[in-house]
Amino acid sequence: MKSAQLEISYSVYQDSDELSESDKNLLLRAREVTKLAYAPYSKFNVAAVALLANGQIVEGTNQENASTPAGLCAERVLLSTASMLFPNIQINAMAISYDNLQGKSIAPATPCGICRQTLQEYEDRLKHPIRLILGGLEGQVFIFEKAGLLLPFAFTGTAMKKN
């Protein structure tokens, strides 16, 4: 038997004031867009805002449904919208923020499993990393240089190809 170790690198900022102007603006927009989320059940409003390679900005929020788990996460709403409005245009960066209406929003929240898989697939499909900027309404900010870092050992389409 051989032992192996996995290491994931990301940047940690104490608050959004330490970010570049572009990253800060994207995160501030995501914080603002949380107000547009439809989350009457969880009271956990999530927003994702992306800067596309063509300079366009695309936004998405979580959309809950009483028939759980029929809701949609902000990241997948954004990716679907970007894919339809701007087919084959790469996403350079995506800021994700949240407003926990029942508590504090002071630490970064990472995407759920299905969103991680969807982000990985989007990166693979367009052959371009998506830089993630994660933060609550205040506090620390995490930056991952590519979304795929959140899903080590990802299941991808290459596993289903014929040999």
- Report pLDDT digits (tens) over 44-71: 999 999 999 999 999 999 999 998 888 9
The CATH number given to whatever domain includes residue 113 is 3.40.140.10
Interacting residues of 48 by C-beta distance below 8 A, sequence separation 6+: 30, 59, 60, 61, 74, 75, 77, 78, 94, 95, 96
Tens digits of per-residue pLDDT, 96-153?
Answer: 999 999 999 999 999 999 999 999 999 999 999 999 999 999 999 999 999 999 999 9
Q: Does residue 157 form part of some domain?
A: no
32: domain range? 11-150
Q: Is 121 a catalytic residue?
A: no
- CA 88, distance to chain mean position in Å, is 18
Is 78 inside any structural domain?
Answer: yes
Confidence (pTM): 0.95
Can you tell me the distance from the alpha carbon of 135 to that of 144, in angstroms, rounded to the nearest whole number? 12
Distance CA 98, CA 75 (A): 12
Q: Among 59, 64, 75, 121, which one carries the catalytic annotation?
A: 75
Residue 39 lies in a domain: yes
In a domain? residue 2? no
The predicted structure's pLDDT at residue 21: 98
With respect to residue 119, please indicate whether it lies within any of the assigned structural domains. Answer: yes
Considering its fold, how many domains does the chain have in total? 1
Is residue 87 in some structural domain? yes
Does any domain span residue 129? yes
In a domain, 30, yes or no: yes
